[in-house]
């Protein structure tokens, strides 16, 4: 099947089937390292799928594969009925209207030499909008993420981390995408700012119907954001289900360990959880 053939009717916006990704080994004649080992997941329109796992589990690689930024060895990635795992550069440019990403670090994801207005106008102009049209849309985007209109003329260094991440969200929304990959979007922020940004993402989803693949190592954040949760461990999905159930009554031992390791406000309870996680109880 070619990359632009239909994969047949489906209710899923995104369907990943038996996805395998390998990276070259380090050193001469070193074998390839298999990072994803047959991953399956789906996302419906307007849904948030939380993807949770520890560092090195392969969770960010899934998002990168969907975006065409990681080498797919085998398996399929179907977006809105179209196979895209082998899409060429031209098709990827077209897909960027519907597929966008919010990266982890708001300090490095924005060009420090460009004004916020230029940053937000760039994807619009790249898709054929006139400079005048793009500038008009910039004001709407800033309003959507609750930033003042005069932010357009300022540089990223003039904003806090939370405000920069709002700009990154606005940039991701510029083309009115149908799916946004949120790759640890709040892990670099303090707790108060995290909640503000998460509330903003939920507000945007309610207003626009956008879908999210929400990638995080933090089970509590994933529980707050997601309709369903997929747990990844060493490149394999070990548990998938309703967010409330998976994050409160997990069936897999790895998910239980993540749950026990999640931070809680009560110091004594946190100590008990860590001890239980270390003993596997």
Q: Which of 17, 164, 133, 26 has its CA nearest to residue 79?
A: 17
Q: Write down the pLDDT at residue 277.
A: 46
Using DSSP, state whether 139 is helix, strand or coil: helix
pLDDT digits (tens, 9 = 90+) for 22-67: 998 888 888 889 999 999 999 999 999 999 999 999 999 999 999 9
pLDDT for res 133: 92
Nearest to 212 by CA among 7, 46, 30: 46
Edge-to-edge strands, sheet with 82-83: 33-43, 14-23, 72-79, 82-83
Supply the pLDDT for residue 271: 54
pLDDT (average), residues 66-91: 96
Closest by Cα among 179, 168, 144, 175 to 47 = 179
pLDDT surpassing 90 at residue 1 = no
How many Å apart are CA 201 and CA 221, to the nearest integer? Answer: 12
Bridge partners for 213 per DSSP: 49, 181
Phi-psi region of 27 (alpha: psi -120 to 50; beta: other; left: phi over 0): left
Helix (H) or strand (E) holding 62: helix 59-66
Q: Strands 211-216 and 48-52: what pairing?
A: parallel
CA pair distance 169, 160, nearest whole angstrom:
14
The per-residue pLDDT for range 149-194, each reduced to its tens digit, is: 999 999 999 999 999 999 999 999 999 999 999 999 999 899 899 9
* Coil, helix or strand at residue 231: strand
Q: Confirm whether pTM is higher than 0.85.
A: yes
Domains of the chain by start residue, with CATH: 1-98+178-248 (3.40.50.300), 110-174 (no CATH)
Answer whether 235's CB lies under 8 Å from 39's CB. Answer: yes
Which carries the bigger pLDDT value, residue 10 or residue 253?
253
- 82, containing H or E segment: strand 82-83
What secondary structure letter does DSSP report for 150? G
């Amino acid at each position: 099947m070619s990359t632009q053939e239909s994969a047949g009717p489906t209710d899923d916006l995104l369907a990943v089937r038996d996805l395998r990704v390998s990276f070259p080994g380090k050193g001469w004649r070193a074998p390839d390292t298999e990072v994803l080992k047959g991953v399956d997941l789906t996302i419906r329109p307007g849904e948030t799928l939380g993807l949770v796992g520890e560092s090195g589990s392969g969770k960010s690689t899934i998002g990168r594969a969907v975006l065409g930024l990681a080498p797919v060895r085998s398996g399929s990635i179907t977006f809105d009925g179209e196979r895209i795992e082998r899409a060429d550069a031209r098709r990827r440019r077209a897909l960027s209207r519907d597929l966008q990403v919010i990266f982890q670090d708001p300090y490095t994801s924005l060009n420090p030499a460009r004004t916020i207005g230029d940053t937000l106008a760039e994807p619009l102009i790249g898709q054929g909008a006139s400079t005048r049209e793009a500038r008009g849309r910039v004001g709407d985007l800033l309003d959507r993420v609750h930033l003042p209109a005069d932010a357009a003329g300022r540089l990223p260094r003039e904003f806090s981390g939370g405000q920069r991440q709002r700009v990154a969200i606005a940039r991701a929304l510029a083309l009115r995408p149908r799916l946004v990959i949120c790759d640890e979007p709040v892990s670099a922020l303090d707790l108060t700012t995290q909640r503000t940004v998460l509330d903003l993402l939920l507000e945007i989803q309610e207003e626009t119907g956008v879908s999210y693949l929400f990638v995080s190592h933090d089970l509590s954040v994933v529980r707050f954001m997601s309709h369903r949760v997929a747990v990844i461990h060493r490149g394999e999905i070990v548990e998938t289900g309703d967010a409330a159930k998976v994050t409160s009554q997990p069936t897999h031992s790895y998910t239980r360990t993540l749950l026990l390791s999640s931070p809680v406000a009560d110091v004594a309870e946190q100590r008990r959880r860590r001890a239980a996680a270390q003993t596997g109880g």
